[in-house]
Every structure is written in C-alpha cells, then in structure tokens.
Amino acid sequence: MQINSHYKFFSFILIFLSISSFFLGFIYGENSAGAGTLNNDFQNVWKNLRTFLNNDLSRAIEFTTAADGAYYKSSRTPLIYILNALFNPFVETKMDFIRSIFVFSLTIPIFFYLCLKQKFNKEQSILLILISSIICLSPYFRTSAYWGLEENFGIVSLLLAFLFLNQFISHRSNDWKKYFKLFLTVFFSSICLYFDQKLIIIPLICFLKIILSNESIKLKIFLIFFYFIFSLPYLYLIASWGNIIPTKDAEGRNIGSQIHFYHLGYSVTMLAFYLLPLLLFKKRISELIKSFFYERKNYYSIALFFIYLAYLLIFHEFDKESVLGKGVVHKFALLIFDNDLFQKVFIYFSFFISWIIVLIYFKDNLNDKLIVAYFLLSSIVIWPIQQEYFDPLIMIMAFTFFDTKIILSYRNSIFLYLYLSVLLISSNFYYYNLLN
C-alpha cells in the first residue's frame, strides 16, 4: 500500500511535467519533429486554407487536382480545410489559426483518457490519466499541435470512433440510441480516411467488428448504407485526382508507380520502437522470449525475415537510398557510423531484432497481426516513409483498437513515460542541431 502511494505521488509529478512541457513547448515554439516553424510545412497549410477561404467549394476542390501545387499542396483530402473555413472563427491571421489548432489538439489526451476509462474501467483514474498524458510527449503530436499541421485531426476522429464503437457494442436494446451510436461510429471512422488516408484501417476494423457480430440484420444494413454514403465524396476525389491522394503529391511521391520493398524493414523498426516498452505491459520479457522460441511455428515467421534479407542483399542498393525519413533507427545509424557498410550491417540487424519484437508482441493475436500487416504492406507504396506515420498512432492503437491483452500498472506506465521522454529530448536535440 505504501509503495502504491509512492507511485501515485510520482504519477502526479509526471502528469504535471508532461502537461507543463506541452504548454512550454508551444510558448517557446518547439520544433521536435523537424516540420515546425512558419517557414516549413505550415506554409502549405496556410496556402491550402486560403484557397478554401477565398473560393467557393467547387472551385477550391478543382485546385486540388492541379499538378503545380500553386493553390493546394497536401497528401490528404481537403476536408480539414473545408471544416476550418466553415467553422473555425480564428482563420484571419496565422497566429490565431495556429492557436486554434493548439487548443483543438488539447482534446486528444482528454479523448484518450476517456477511451482508456472505457476499456480499462477497473483501473484507477490517476493511472489512466498518467498514460493519457504520455501523448503530450510525442514529438509529432506536439509539432502538429504547435504549428497548425494536419495530423492531429485524424487522431481525434480515431479516438471518437473507438468511443462510439464500444458504446454501440455495449448498448443492448435495439432502440434509436443504438442506431444513433452506430451512425456516430460510422461517421467518425469514415472521416478518419478523409483526415489521413492510412487511417482507412479504422473504418475497416469498425465495419468488420460489427458485420461479423451477432447484431441484427437491420443494423448491419444501416451500417453498410452509411459507409457507402460516406465513401462517395472520396470516390469522387479519386476520380478527379486519378489517384488516392491529390495530384501534386501523387506525382511527387510516385504513388501507384513505384514499390519500395526496403520500406518494410524501416517500418518494422518504427513499429518495434513503440512496441518494445509495451512488452512490459504483458508479462516478464524473459518469459515472453522463452515462450516465443519454444513454439516451432514461430520459426516460420522468422524464416520470412531471412527471405526478405536475401532480397535486400541481392536486389537492393543500400547506398542509393535517400536519407529522408526512415525513422529513429536509420537516423541513429547515420549519427554513429560514417561507413556505409557499418550503417548497412547495423540497420539490417535492427530489422531482424525489430521483427522478433513485433512477432513476440502479437504472438497469438491474428486480428492485430492483420492490422500490422496492413501498416507494413501500405508502407511499400508510400514515399518517403517517416516516423510520424507511426507516432503516436501505434501507441494509441495499442491501448484502444488492438486486441492484444495488456496489463496496466504504475511501474510499467512510468517506464513508458520515461522511455518516450528520452525520444522527445533526443528529437529536440537532433532537429535543433540539424536545422541550426
């Protein structure tokens, strides 16, 4: 009991520090993901917003199909800018808009806490607040919140989709409230796609959970009908762009024209980076490793890595890779090794260790393995592949949509907090030195 009270007291301190650092980062203009400041990605955000403020809707959407990017440059649909143009009263000046997105982003740790409270309803509130406050340590969440960027809109819709999905599932009677909760589930999961195309996995999860459940046929027809309705605007945009993302970015990123198999390895390192501390939320790591290697079937999954490694060694030219993106392991390799061969050995060995971490974490959970397979396979058509595609998304999904069982405790949560604090501090130093 005494130990528990010490953990609670320490948790209060950590919560205060994460929230304080979040506000201080905004006040001092932190740029911990490299995309911050008014002269970086915000230039495109501001240009896109002005396009929808200064033109009628149909004309503004036409600009998203242009190949020169003079009026619109983003890999996402224009829903973010449509909503801000219609409902955000703080769009007259850059700083007013940036402040409004900062305030909007403050809802994310709140919604995350509500999701945790819903899923782990027997846990103490202070523990759940501690975990939800860890979001404030994400360099990518912070940079998006500080500089009016696009990423946090998708996270909000993801969390709301999870909340309403579980409310729908737990609602027993087929009254109007159940239909309303289903509608909100469909709505918020659908707009995940409009805010961030890789989040198409969220409506897919929601759809399959409900369609494969024991819910009534009427509810399932309702589900299919509204998913169809909400897909129509995106189908129209695909027809207009000739691609799944706007024309300018589709050309610049070679979407649909190139396959980047080497991205699989880097994506695995980024996944494993966030799953590694979460292994502590399952059982003792030594037991997990022993149990994993005891089962012969897992060696087939390990063999897949060596097939992939053979492909890299035979067909892939490591020294011709772009240095852009590819996550924390790649950046670390560039910092500690000058020699290409040493970098290659370190990175490929990291691919192997990361693959083992991912396999151990999702050991017997087929549903989560399919979700991870989606993230890995989608990475081969994305260029560049960056850490921000996984942070803080993977950690949030581990506590929400992933089915893999985790056990919460103060000790494990404090370790996760400190682990991600190191990432935040390191990111600040890295980008400060890189950009100055």
The pTM of the full predicted model, rounded to 2 decimals, is 0.94
Q: How far apart are CA 57 and CA 303, in angstroms?
A: 52
What pLDDT, in 10s, does the model give residues 176-232?
999 999 999 999 999 999 999 999 999 999 999 999 999 999 999 999 999 999 999
- Of the two residues 297 and 110, the one the predictor is more confident about is 110
Quote the percentage of the chain above a pLDDT of 70. Answer: 99
Confirm if 283 and 405 have CB atoms less than 8 A apart: no
The model's confidence at residue 3, banded by pLDDT at 50, 70 and 90, is low
Work out the mean pLDDT of the chain and round it to a whole number: 92
Q: What is the pLDDT of residue 356?
A: 94
Dihedral sign for Cα atoms in the order 237, 242, 243, 245: negative
The tokens of 22 are what?
A: 């979040």
> Does the pLDDT of residue 2 top 70, yes or no?
no
Confirm if 386 and 325 have CB atoms less than 8 A apart: yes
| 257-291 core/surface letters (b: 16 or more CB in 10 A; e: else) | eeebebbbbbbbbbbbbbbbbbbbbbeeeeebeee
Q: Highest-confidence range of 97-106, 365-374, 423-432, by mean pLDDT?
A: 97-106
**Domain extents in the chain:** 2-253, 263-380
The model's confidence at residue 248, banded by pLDDT at 50, 70 and 90, is confident
> Does the pLDDT of residue 49 top 50, yes or no?
yes
- 316 φ, ψ to 5°? -95, 135
Summarize the confidence of residues 284-311 as an average pLDDT.
88
Q: What is the pLDDT of residue 116?
A: 97
The model's confidence at residue 363, banded by pLDDT at 50, 70 and 90, is confident
Cis peptide before 78 (omega within 30 of 0): no
| 378-397 core/surface letters (b: 16 or more CB in 10 A; e: else) | bbbbbbebbbbbbbbbbbbb
- Of the two residues 166 and 365, the one the predictor is more confident about is 166
The model's confidence at residue 324, banded by pLDDT at 50, 70 and 90, is confident
Q: What is the pLDDT of residue 256?
A: 67
End-to-end Cα, the chain, rounded Å: 49
Q: Residue 259 carries which side chain, given as an amino acid letter?
A: I
Q: What is the pLDDT of residue 1?
A: 42
Helix (H, G, I), strand (E, B) or coil at 264: helix
Confirm if 145 and 42 have CB atoms less than 8 A apart: no
- 147 φ, ψ to 5°? -120, 25
What pLDDT, in 10s, does the model give residues 266-278?
999 999 999 999 9
Distance of CA 204 to the CA centre of its chain: 16
Nearest Cα neighbor of 186 from 214, 157, 143 is: 157
Query: What does 65-123 look like in DSSP terms, one character per residue?
Result: T-SS-SS---SS-THHHHHHHHH-S--SSHHHHHHHHHHHHTHHHHHHHHHHHHHSTTS
Summarize the confidence of residues 396-423 as an average pLDDT.
94
